[in-house]
Amino acid sequence: MDLQNDLGQTALHLAAILGEASTVEKLYAAGAGLCVAERRGHTALHLACRVGAHACARALLQPRPRRPREAPETYLAQAPDRTPDTDHTPVALYPDSDLEKEEESEEDWKLQLEAENYEGHTPLHVAVIHKDVEMVRLLRDAGADLDKLEPTCGRSPLHLAVEAQAADVLELLLRAGANPAARMYGGRTPLGSAMLRPNPILARLLRAHGAPEPEGEDEKSGPCSSSSDSDSG
């Protein structure tokens, strides 16, 4: 199910890239691994976010359907003299492996939301960089961390939205409760970053949601920018 080609891609990766939502649904229901990464560290959800495959992302973000269990083994309780006690209902024994697989599947579904590719980006970071408000909405509803920092400069999703000058994405994140006071490793806030951009709506939105005024922040743009991220391509 999770056999990988020379690029590290599984069938689920390819289905997501091609936007084949029905195939994604079938592979997902059959137990395909959600956190398997291809050679650039992308999971299927990362790839769906890169290409804007909303239907595929929607399928991946649904709790995995429970697969029918194999017929359980049954036995009859024994009386003290070790003869079968036919007066009681047989006890069903499900293999421990079935229960373990269900627990792994549930954990897999949660982990894909915070999985990082080799850029250190979660699916939400990728969706924000691509200015995809619908994808951001799907990830928000699924419980993605709206304040998770990417590792290169410590940018939050709000910082990335400002750098992408995606006002609609920025507003969605702010309304969903993202922290407007988040700081990059160098101390820059989303508002400080917004004041370096030509779009005045960005700063206006941040101020409307309680963003603190920048103090002592470098007024020059730093080396971090979404345009330098491979996930923007």
CATH of domain 120-233: 1.25.40.20
Cβ atoms of 71 and 148 within 8 Å: the answer is: no
What is the structure's pLDDT at 102? 54
d(CA 45, CA 53) in angstroms, rounded, equals 9
- 1-68+102-118, what's its fold? 1.25.40
What is the structure's pLDDT at 227? 45
What is the structure's pLDDT at 19? 98
Model pTM greater than 0.75? yes
Token duo for residue 173: 């994140």
- Going 40 to 119 to 117 to 158, the CA torsion angle's sign is negative
What is the structure's pLDDT at 146? 99
What is the structure's pLDDT at 216? 74
For the chain, the structural domain boundaries read: 1-68+102-118, 120-233
What is the structure's pLDDT at 215? 83
Whether 120-233 and 1-68+102-118 are alike in CATH topology: the answer is yes
Amino acid at 2: D
The one-digit pLDDT tens for each residue of the chain (233 residues) are 899 999 999 999 999 999 999 999 999 999 999 999 999 999 999 999 999 999 999 999 998 766 655 555 555 555 555 555 555 555 455 455 554 555 556 678 889 999 999 999 999 999 999 999 999 999 999 999 999 999 999 999 999 999 999 999 999 999 999 999 999 999 999 999 999 999 999 999 999 999 999 987 766 656 665 544 678 76
- In angstroms, the Cα distances linking 123 to 44, 51, 134, 157, 165 are 9, 12, 13, 11, 19
Q: How far is CA 45 from the centre of its chain?
A: 6
